[in-house]
Amino acid sequence: MAFVVSSGELATTGAGVLPAYAPMTLRAAPWEYETIWRTQPQVRTVIGFIARNIAQLGLHVFRRVSDTDRERLREHPLAQLLSEPLPGMTQYRLIERVVSDRALYDNFYGIKLKLNGRLRMLPVPPTLIRPYGGNWIAPEYYETAGGRQFGPDEVVHIHGYSPTDLTFGESPIESLRDLILEADEANRQRRQMWKGGARMTGVLVRPPDAPEWGERDRRRFREMWRSFSQGGGAEGGTPILEDGMDYKAVGFNPEQAQYIEARKLTREEVSAAYFIPPPLIGILDHATYSNIREQHAHLYQDTLGPWMVDLQQEFVAHLLPDLPDNKDVYCEFNIEAKMRGSFEEQAAAASTATGGPWMTRNEIRGRNNLPAVPGGDELIVPMNVTEGGLVSPRDTAPEPGDAPSKARGLPPRSKASGRPSTLGTFDSERDALETTLTAFTERQADALLAAAGVKADDTGMPDLLALWAAGSEDRLAQLLALLSHHGYRLAQVGAWDVLNVHNPEAENWSAEVMLAWILAAAETHAEQHEEAGRAAVAAVQEGGGDGWREALQTAAAGWGSAAAARANTASTELRSFGGHDAASASGLTKKIWRTGGKNPRPSHKAQDGEAVALDDVFSNGLRWPGDGKGDTKELVNCNCDLDYAKED
């Protein structure tokens, strides 16, 4: 396989030498597409929508280990190439350019480079390179604007369908050419109308029986009218029409010319050419909250799904053969966060899939591109099914008082960590809460933005607080379920960290005892997170103004960022409580503060190693790291932990 060998000077490829270079092909001249993209807002809006929504996803590289197991490859040469195709170029910019070139020209070109022993790819604008020779199956070579020639194996050429051959794609812009030209002519006419309208295009009618004017009268009236009309009526004062004169306007006004309808029609036709539902690009004439929600759900399936499958396969076909260690390697866009359902839907599906005796944990992990875990190939029958007399893993569990205690024995435990094999590490459980809470928050913010956009009209900003209040009850219920589920797991992780050291048989300790406290803590965090979102919306409502849409988007993004901090704070609190509960059940009487994290607070750093009685508080007023009864400044993003011991 041949490559361009360069010491870092990308100009040696010959691309970009002649900016006015215009390749001649049997198709329309590509520079015309460039002009259309620059001058037609509807085309730019649609292409930008596709490119940005795909570029934001991220492209991951995996190795297929088996039909139910795959491994994420972060250091593979393909992953490195896609993450940084050129020094200083991000993956987002690469994907944005690939998709934009495909959408505009139906062709993307990239030249393979070997820089410092590493494969790179230089994206080349389609106006600066063209295929030559060959036949309808493949070209003989490619030539850049500077006259440099490259073999087919040195160029990544991703293109769409053409009815005439297999070497080139036909731009969708061709099917829109007449419509775009018509819209351009309409824009010109509109500019002329506004230009003429500003000068009050019309005629003055003077009654036949009006007195005869002399030259002096005509000159006086002409100067008065000129002074008024030259400023569009705004600078010349109020004209006085004499002797029964009347002004009659000439021409169409914007409403009669139906300019707004014409522009909407153009955008709808362009979006149809790229298979995009109109409400997704701002055409809300027939939109409702429900159909917008459904269209957002289908965006990454029906609208953008074919684009992503195409690019995934093209990158593998063009780049992987030139890289070492390429067996069973493939790439895939990360659409998991975008395709998740509500928390209840995810919880119900996961409970049924992994809790019933028909699917193993490793099978469900493989479906989600996660590696296998030890012991994950065994079918699990939940304890509430085998011992609680229930027929389904989703039936209600027995009350804590009814659950058998020591007679049932301890759950299966990992030899490596000592904790139950169904629990992960603190880091993995904390990351799971952060991912779930952030995704939930983003979905709720998107729903509010969609509802506000639909309900907005020409009168201005809708009642944002009313829209927020309409979904508050459901949000709180979902937040409580989400935080309770993850909180129970995090508390058990903290408890087993203590039990493994001081009470391996978990004498006198039961996880169910913690449930009441965990539910109360989950309710507090849910209310605080809900209030943070409401306060952000209230600030936008109070600010008002024409920029309320942008302010609401900023507030939504801020609420999403707050979710990550909330997850970290709640995780620390729950782990600390679980460890404290296990220490009390195990007869421990002393707790020692251990400062953690890369940049701890000065107050936490100063009390590292401070020891107090188990039921006492530390010098900062906290019972444990993340204690919800403490000041907020002592809690947010705290990563400290506790050690326990018996008094000497």
pLDDT at residue 352 in the model: 56
List of E strands, 214-310 = 246-249
Query: Residue 285: inside a domain, yes or no?
Result: no
Cα 263 from Cα 42, distance rounded (Å): 8
225 is a domain residue? no
* Cα(125)–Cα(105) distance, integer angstroms: 10
User: Does 643 map to a domain?
Assistant: yes
Residue 318: pLDDT over 90: yes
Q: What is the pLDDT of residues 584-642, one digit of tens each?
A: 888 888 888 888 766 777 777 778 888 888 888 888 778 888 777 777 666 666 778 88
- Flag whether 289 is in a domain: no
pLDDT for 14 beyond 50:
no
520 and 394 within one domain = no
Looking at the fold, whether 508 and 610 belong to one and the same domain comes out as no
On whether residue 14 sits in a domain, the answer given is yes
The reply to whether 153 and 9 lie within a common domain is yes
554 and 431 co-located in one domain: yes
Q: Which residue has the higher pLDDT, 423 or 188?
A: 423
Structural domains of the chain, count: 4
The predicted-structure confidence for 51-104, as pLDDT tens digits, reads as follows: 998 999 889 999 998 887 889 999 999 999 999 999 999 999 999 999 999 999
One domain, residues 347 and 455: no
β-partners of residue 66 are: 69
Over range 238-250, report the average pLDDT.
75
Report the interhelical angle of 91-105 vs 30-39 (nearest 10°): 110
pLDDT tens digits for 259-286? 555 566 677 788 888 888 777 766 655 5
576/437 same-domain check: yes
Looking at residue 414, its pLDDT comes to 57
Please tell me whether residues 567 and 540 are part of one structural domain: yes
Q: Give the model's pLDDT for residue 285.
A: 55
Same domain, 556 and 638: no
Q: Collapse the DSSP code of 5 into the 3-class scheme (helix H, G, I; strand E, B; otherwise coil) and give the result.
A: strand
Who contacts 236 (Cβ-Cβ below 8 Å, separation ≥6)? 227, 228, 229, 230
Q: Are 245 and 204 in contact (CB under 8 A)?
A: yes
Share of the chain above pLDDT 70, in %: 73
pLDDT for 226 equals 77
Please list, in sequence order, all residues whose beta carbon lies within 8 angstroms of the beta carbon of residue 400, skipping any fewer than 6 positions away. Answer: 510, 512, 513, 515
Between the alpha carbon of residue 155 and those of residues 134, 170, 313, 379, 488, the distances in Å are 15, 19, 16, 49, 54
Of 586, 612, 638, the one marking the end of a domain is: 586
Task: Print the domain residue range for 170.
Answer: 4-174
Residues 115 and 19 in one domain: yes
Q: pLDDT higher for 367 or 492? A: 492
Shared-domain flag, residues 554 and 465:
yes
**What is the rounded average pLDDT of the residues 295-315?**
83
- pLDDT value of residue 159: 93
**In the prediction, which pLDDT does 468 show?**
85
Hey, what are 376's tokens? 């994950």
- Which range is least confidently modeled, 247-251, 369-373, 583-587? 247-251
Mean pLDDT to the nearest integer, 532-544 = 86
Residues 471 and 507 in one domain: yes
Instruction: Specify the pLDDT at position 330.
Output: 94
Strand partners, 576: none
pTM of the predicted model as reported, rounded to 2 decimal places? 0.47
Do 547 and 638 sit in the same domain of this protein? no
- Take residue 434 and report the two structure tokens written for it: 């952060």
Instruction: Map 328-376 to HEC letters.
Output: CEEEEECCHHHHCCCHHHHHHHHHHHHHCCCCCHHHHHHHCCCCCCCCC
